[in-house]
Amino acid sequence: MKQTLSLIFLLCTFPTLSAAQFGIYQHGSVVRMHMGDCMPANHGFMMAFGSPAAPVSQGSCPEYTLVSPNVVYVIVGKMSNQLIPLAEVIDFRLQKNELAVRVDDAKHESKFVIKEMIVRSEWDRIKRHIDEQMKAAEVREAER
Amino acid sequence: MDKFLGTLLLCSWLVRLLVPFFLVTVIYPHDLLEQYSAHSQPSQDFTYHSSVSEVRLVFFATDEHNRSVQELQSDDFAVIDNSWVIRNFRSFTRAGLVKLDVIVLIDSSESVLPRFHQEIADVLELVSQWPWEPGDKVSILSFSGMEVNVVCAGNCRSWFTADRAASLPSGGATPLFDAVMVATNFLTQRRQPDVWPVIILFSDGDDTISKASFKGILKKILANEEQIYTVDLGGPGRPSNGTAILQKMAEDSGGRCVPLSDGPVKILNDVMDDLHSGLLVTYALPDSSSEFHSIRILPTHNLNLQFRCRRGYYYHRSGSARQEDGP
């Protein structure tokens, strides 16, 4: 009985442990967060061609902008209280069209729906453009 | 030959004399020379203006057991300001909230009359038990019918007695929002940077006659940076619309809402806890095109930590730096 329980425990913890041990986590930083509309769990391809969509969670869900060295992800939580620890650097990995974030203190992963993906260089360019516009608006405001 | 040597010596002497002068005039920075000459002239009065956009935010941290966290570090939390995640803070300290300017708002309208005696007893107990400091002020306002009455202003510790409480006007409609508006204006008029403005509102939350709107007073509370603690006089049972209004007012301002059944000791403890555990963080104002900045504080590592602060602040671009929240 003990052996069976140990085996079950190992099987349950294996995905997280192995991911950590084999270093398959990518690193990124959350730069933006707001509460937005919730998304159905099986959106995108599965929603278009699969069975009827799962009901969308009522209320609002947290939406994060996660910046990694090469790609910027906009991810949405599945529940209103699904939070990411907002440390300077967080570990995440892509898993079956979802993004799994490693929650350090809880030693588990939290899965998020990927809403958008953009190449980092393109995101930097857009951000620079917005910053310039903001500064120009500030200067105009100051000159009035 | 002697004449030639003499001319050469004269040239050499002139060069030695002029080269340092040439070097000084060419190399010495022009503005330094100007500064030097300015010093030598009678001084003029100049005023230099610079705007520093900094947000000051008072907040409270609790653990999963709702106990205040004593050892919080600046890397344990991040501020979400208009959706931007802020981790670089200019300063992080204990707020050191020492002096208080408290307004107790007493609802004496028709709808709370069945619980009016308990309400007055609680206010009396609250005022008498509070560990007031020398610089603290407490004022009491009551509202019913069409009016907001100033019972006593600033000196209610000794003035407000059971006899005087018994003579308060009661009955009629509930001008709740007008009363809150009067209280916020009252606090704003005598606002000082080192004083923490607090409103303790006893009411059932059911406004029936105010000229001011609920949205209007929420905006006013955020703009004037007051913290509201509400005591719900509504009957027990399912939550009412009035309870929701009281909760919203308290949460938006960073305060708390407690039911009357909790008693004055609970209210007192809540406010005193906040006074002792308040934390102050400052950071550079993030870019935003909107006047209103929504705020939320979230943990960076331990997701069991809970943070409470006001819902946001207003920043007027044309004005100078605006303090978000202040003791």
Beta strands in chain B (DSSP E): 54-62, 77-81, 84-86, 91-94, 99-107, 137-144, 147-152, 195-203, 227-232, 257-259, 279-284, 292-299, 306-308, 312-314
The total of other beta-carbon atoms located within 10 Å of residue B299's CB is 21
A-B contacts at Cβ under 8 angstroms: 47
Chain B environment of A88 (Cβ under 8 Å): 75, 87, 300
How large is the average pLDDT for residues A119-126? 95
Q: Tokens for B271?
A: 């406010």
**A30–B85 CB contact, under 8 Å:** yes
pLDDT of residue B188: 92
How large is the average pLDDT for residues B191-217? 91
Chain B residue with the nearest C-alpha to that of A62: B83
Cβ atoms B278, B94 nearer than 8 A: yes
Residue B32 predicted with pLDDT over 50: no
Provide the 3-class DSSP secondary structure of residue B256: coil
How large is the average pLDDT for residues B180-194? 90
pLDDT of residue A58: 65
How large is the average pLDDT for residues B52-75? 89
Chain A residue with the nearest C-alpha to that of B78: A86
Domain borders along chain A are 25-119
Select the residue of A105, A131, A137 nearest B302 (Cβ to Cβ).
A105
Mean pLDDT of the residues in chain B? 82
Chain B environment of A103 (Cβ under 8 Å): 303
Q: The tokens 């978000």 sit on which residue?
A: B324
**A105–B303 CB contact, under 8 Å:** yes
How large is the average pLDDT for residues B108-134? 89
Strand B99-107 and strand B137-144: pairing? parallel
Share of chain B above pLDDT 70, in %: 80
Chain A residue with the nearest C-alpha to that of B297: A86
How large is the average pLDDT for residues B264-272? 79
**Between B194 and B311, residue with greater pLDDT:** B311
Angle at B131 between CA B99 and CA B167, to 5 degrees: 100
ipTM above 0.90, yes or no: no
pLDDT confidence bin for B25, thresholds 50/70/90:
very low
pLDDT of residue B5: 52
Report the distance separating Cα A28 and Cα A68, nearest Å.
4
Strand B227-232 and strand B195-203: pairing? parallel
Which pLDDT tens digit goes with each residue over A40-72? 755 554 454 445 545 555 679 999 999 999 999
Spatial CA neighbour of B327 closest among B252, B262, B263, B276 = B276
**Between B310 and B126, residue with greater pLDDT:** B310
Chain A environment of B301 (Cβ under 8 Å): 85, 87, 104-105
**A86–B298 CB contact, under 8 Å:** yes
* Full-model pTM: 0.75
Which of B51, B289, B303 to mutate to test binding with chain A, by most A CBs within 10 Å of its CB? B303
Report the distance separating Cα B137 and Cα B126, nearest Å.
14
Residue B164 predicted with pLDDT over 90: no
**Between B276 and B119, residue with greater pLDDT:** B119
**Could you tell me which residues of chain A have a Cβ less than 8 Å from any Cβ in chain B?**
30-34, 83, 85-88, 103-106, 131, 134, 137-138, 141, 144
Provide the 3-class DSSP secondary structure of residue A20: helix
